[in-house]
Structure 1
Amino acid sequence: MSDFKKYVIIVSGGTGSRMNSATPKQFLELNKVPLLMHTIRAFNASDIHIVLVQNDTHADIWASLCTKHQFDVPHSLVSGGKTRFHSVQNGLRFIVENEADLGSVLIAVHDGARPFVSKKIIEHSFQEVIDKKAVVPAIESRDSLRIISDGGINKALKREKVRLVQTPQTFFANILYDAYASDYNAEFTDDASVVEKSGYPIHLIEGDIRNIKITYPIDIAIAESWMNN
C-alpha cells in the first residue's frame, strides 16, 4: 500500500429537494455538526488525499461552516458540474494535474451524504483494488424486489441475485480517468457503471448496512439515533 498514493473524491452537490429543506442536505446537522464534516473526517486517515467537489454556489456556505465549527481537516476544493458524472470528471482533472504517474494512484469516489462509512470498508477497498482494479461495496437486499419492463409489466426478481451498491467505489486512477473520458450517458448512475461501460469488470466486496446515504428526513433521525446510542 505504501507504493500507491491514495485519493478520495467526495461528491457533494445535493440540493436537499427530497429533504423538503432549503438547506442542502450535506450541510444539515448531525449532532450539531454538518453531516459532510462527518463524511470527510471518516477519510482523514491513512494518507488519503481528500478532494471535495461541490457546487460553486455553496462555497460561501461551506467556508462559513468551516469557520463556525473550526473544521481544519485538509481537503482540496473543486468546482462541481451539472451532473454527478461531470463533478467526478472535474475531480479527476484536478488529480491528473497534480500526479504524473496515474498507474501508481488509487482513487475512491464517495457520496458526501454517506457519513457512516467505516474505516474497515475504506481500508478494505484500497487493499482489494490493488488486485481487482475496480472495487465496489454492496449489501444484500432485505426486501423483496420486482422489476418493471418498458411495457409496465412487473415481475419478481430473485433477491439472492441482487446487491445494493454503496460507496466508496475504488479504482486505479488511469482506469477511472480513461472511463470518464467518455461522453455523458443518462444510464451512468455511479462510477461502477461508467467503468463497466469502458470494458472493465466490477468486483464486489462486502458493504455495511450502516453505510446509508442520507436522502430523506427520516434518515437524519435514524443517523442521530445511531450516534447517540
Structure 2
Amino acid sequence: MNKDYIIIVAGGKGLRMGGDLPKQFLLVDGRPVLMRTIERFRQYSEAIGIILVLPHAQQDYWRQLCKEYHFNVEHTVVDGGDTRFQSCKNGIAAVPDDATGVVGIHDGVRPFVTVDVIARTYEAAREHGAAMPVMPVTDTLRYVAGEDGGHNVLRSDYRTVQTPQTFDIQLIKRAYDVPYSEAFTDDASVAEAAGHKVVMVEGCRENIKLTTPYDLLLADFICKQ
C-alpha cells in the first residue's frame, strides 16, 4: 500500500524549560506546542498517516488536552522508549510492514517547520531514498578538542541539521533493525550506518527546536507574525 507517514517524536521532560510540564505540552500563543506540530503536517497532506510517539505516562494527559482544545486531527499514539533511538524504532514499527512510500521523523517541539520544507524533504526522499533539511552555519565555529586552546574552522564546511528527516519506508525499516549505537545521533546517521546516502535540502530559519525559555519567547513572536 502506497502511503506517506510522519512519526512525531515527543519524549521531552521539559527540564531545560525550568518547569515540571514537558515542553511539548507548553502553550505557544494559547495552544500546546505538540498540536501546532501535528497541524503543520496535516496542512502539508490530508492523507498523511500521523504517528505520535509519546511516553506512556504522558498519554492520559495528552488525551485530556485533546478534549480540552477540541483537537480532532486523526493520529495514532505509540509508546516512547528509554532513548530517542528506541522511540523512533517504536514509531517505525507502527508503520505497516507492507507499506510503500515515504516516512518522515520529526521532533515534536519543532512546530514551525514550513509546508515548503516538508514538501522538499518528502520529494527528495521519494527520488533519492533519504533526505534531511539543513541550514548554513552563521556563527564562527571553533574546534576545542585537545589542550592547545583549539582553532577556528571554516563554517562553510558545516551545516546545522533539522527535521523532518525523510526516508523510503522499507529502507528505514531495514536500517533500524539493529541494536542501538552511540554513533546514532539522529535518524540520518542510522540510515548512513546502513550504507545509505542522505541528501540535503534547504531548511528554514523558523524551524527552531523549543528547548529553553528563550525559545518560547521566540515562538510567541513567530506566532504573532
Aligned to 2:178: 182
| CA-based RMSD | 1.4
Counterpart of 2:180 in structure 1: which amino acid? Y
Match in the other structure for 1:228:
224
Between the aligned partners of 1:111 and 1:207, the Cα distance in structure 2 is 14
TM-score when scaled to structure 2?
Answer: 0.95
Contact between 2:192 and 2:198, CA under 8 Å: does it hold in 1?
yes
Aligned to 1:52, the other structure's residue is in SS state: strand
Instruction: Say if 2:2 is the partner of 1:12.
Output: no
Aligned to 1:127: 123
Aligned to 2:92: 92
Structure 2: which 5+ runs fail to align? none
Task: Determine if contact 2:101/2:126 at 8 Å carries over to the other structure.
Answer: no
Q: CA deviation at 1:187?
A: 2.2
* Deviation sequence 1:151-182 (CA, Å, 0-9, x none): 57522111011000000000001111111111
In 2, Cα distance between the equivalents of 1:10 and 1:62? 14
- Give ranges in structure 1 of 5+ residues lacking alignment: none
Shift of 1:148: 2.8
Tell me which residue corresponds to 1:69.
69
- Aligned equivalents of 1:42, 1:76: Cα separation in 2: 16
Aligned 1:1-229 pairs, distance under 5 A: 4-44=2-42, 45-46=44-45, 47-95=47-95, 98-100=96-98, 102=99, 104-149=100-145, 153-229=149-225
Q: Tell me the distance in 1 between the aligned counterparts of 2:131 and 2:87.
A: 20
Letter in 2 for 1:21: G
With over 3 angstroms needed to count, the CA separation of the structure-2 counterparts of 1:177 and 1:226, relative to structure 1, is: same
